[in-house]
């Protein structure tokens, strides 16, 4: 099942979004979209969709006169200390829940922390159950979409070190167990194309993942579907890719 990259990767919009938020923050009384366009150098045509996303995520608010000002989400994430940590977790959970509902799949936020794969947050539901962790995710990076996506963001030596601790054991008949083949797949993975798991971790489950790298932090956003919904994987992965920008923005603020 081949996935082709979308014309514009969502991550490019994050830098623009940060420039927009910086401009809005400098004008407590509100600022027009025309002024934002001049200050950021963004064409009004590109700015419109970006402002709609920022409004939807609560980062900016639109006043009755049409001007834009700082929204509640930006004010909360801009705070320091434990307040920001709690606000970030809540914001990410809201975004994951929104993605779960729009995609119709369980959604996961995963990080590579201290040499291990960790699912830090997820959003599921009775209609969209999460994957049954029948093998500890930490030991299954080679078979999981999320794990492989995180490994693509590591350098060659870091990957080898990880696989020296967690061997590429067979979990299903589809699992790649050859390190050479796995490394070739990781090296050949286009950054703009979601990483897939087609029943490699668990029989009956297909998954997709996209990278979300903020600074030096290695992370990814993933989804899972029962195999009977495999025909939706391509569309679901593209929706996930588009939805990655708000997650990355939350981490970058």
pLDDT tens track for 95-151 = 999 999 999 999 999 999 999 999 999 999 999 999 999 999 999 999 999 999 999
Q: How far apart are CA 130 and CA 140, in angstroms?
A: 16
Residue of 9 and 219 predicted with greater confidence? 219
Domain residues for the domain of 33 are 12-77
CATH number at residue 155: 3.30.450.40
pLDDT class of 5 with cuts at 50, 70, 90: very low
Is 68 contained in some domain?
A: yes
Q: How far apart are CA 154 and CA 42, in angstroms?
A: 33
Decide: 32 and 66 in contact? Cβ < 8 Å: yes
pLDDT at 9: 47
pTM: 0.85
Three-class DSSP category at 211? strand
Q: What are phi and psi of 201, to 5 degrees?
A: -90, -45
- What total number of domains does the chain contain? 2
pLDDT at 192: 80
Show Cβ contacts of residue 225 under 8 Å, excluding neighbours closer than 6 positions: 105, 205, 206, 207, 232, 233, 236
Pair (129, 201) in one structural domain: yes
CA distances, 151 to each of 55, 84, 87, 170, 219 (Å): 34, 29, 28, 18, 10
Residue of 93 and 191 predicted with greater confidence? 93
Pair (195, 71) in one structural domain: no
pLDDT at 217: 79
Is 85 contained in some domain?
A: no
Is 222 contained in some domain?
A: yes
Q: What are 174's two structure tokens? A: 């589809």
pLDDT at 14: 84
Decide: 240 and 208 in contact? Cβ < 8 Å: yes
Is 213 contained in some domain?
A: yes
Evaluate if residue 218 carries a pLDDT over 60.
yes
pLDDT at 141: 97
Is 177 contained in some domain?
A: yes
pLDDT at 15: 83
Evaluate if residue 8 carries a pLDDT over 90.
no
Residue of 198 and 75 predicted with greater confidence? 198
Residue of 77 and 146 predicted with greater confidence? 146
Is 89 contained in some domain?
A: no
Pair (127, 232) in one structural domain: yes
Is 253 contained in some domain?
A: no
Q: What are phi and psi of 105, to 5 degrees?
A: -155, 155
Evaluate if residue 233 carries a pLDDT over 80.
yes
Evaluate if residue 205 carries a pLDDT over 90.
yes
CATH number at residue 63: 1.10.10.10
Pair (37, 110) in one structural domain: no
Q: Which of 26-35, 196-205, 207-216 has the lowest mean pLDDT?
A: 207-216
Encode 204-239: b = buried (16+ Cβ within 10 Å), e = exposed. ebbbbbbbbbbeeebbbbbbbbeeeeeeebbebbbb
- Rounded to an integer, the average pLDDT of 61-78 is 92
Pair (120, 181) in one structural domain: yes
pLDDT class of 251 with cuts at 50, 70, 90: confident
Beta-bridge partners for 221: 109, 210
Pair (190, 69) in one structural domain: no
Enumerate the H helices of the chain as residue ranges. Answer: 12-25, 33-40, 44-56, 72-77, 81-103, 145-152, 156-165, 179-188, 233-252
Pair (108, 54) in one structural domain: no
Task: Write out the DSSP string of 92-146.
Answer: HHHHHHHHHHHHTSEEEEEEEETTEEEEEEEE--SSSPPP--SS-GGG-TTTSHH
- Rounded to an integer, the average pLDDT of 3-7 is 38
pLDDT at 12: 59
Pair (140, 212) in one structural domain: yes
pLDDT class of 175 with cuts at 50, 70, 90: very high
Is 87 contained in some domain?
A: no
- Rounded to an integer, the average pLDDT of 39-57 is 88
């Amino acid at each position: 099942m081949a996935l082709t990259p979308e014309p514009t990767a969502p991550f490019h919009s994050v830098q623009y979004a940060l420039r927009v938020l910086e401009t809005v923050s400098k004008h407590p009384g509100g600022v027009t979209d025309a002024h934002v366009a001049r200050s950021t150098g963004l064409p009004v045509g590109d700015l419109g969709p970006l402002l709609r996303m920022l409004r939807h995520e609560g980062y900016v608010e639109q006043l009755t006169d049409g001007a834009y000002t700082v929204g509640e989400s930006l004010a909360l994430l801009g705070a320091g200390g434990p307040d920001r940590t709690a606000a970030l977790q809540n914001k990410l959970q809201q975004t994951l829940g929104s993605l779960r509902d729009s995609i119709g799949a369980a959604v996961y936020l995963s990080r590579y922390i201290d040499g291990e794969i960790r699912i830090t947050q997820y959003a599921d539901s009775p209609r969209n159950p999460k994957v049954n962790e029948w093998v500890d995710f930490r030991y299954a990076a080679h078979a999981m979409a999320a794990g492989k996506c995180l490994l693509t963001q590591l350098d060659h030596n870091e990957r080898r070190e990880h696989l020296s601790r967690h061997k590429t054991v067979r979990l299903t008949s589809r699992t790649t167990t050859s390190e050479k083949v796995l490394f070739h797949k990781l090296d050949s993975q286009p950054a703009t194309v979601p990483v897939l798991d087609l029943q490699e971790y668990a029989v009956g489950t297909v998954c997709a993942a996209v990278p979300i790298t903020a600074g030096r932090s290695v992370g990814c956003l993933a989804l899972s579907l029962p195999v009977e919904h495999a025909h939706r994987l391509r569309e679901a992965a593209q929706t996930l890719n588009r939805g990655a920008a708000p997650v990355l923005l939350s981490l970058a603020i």
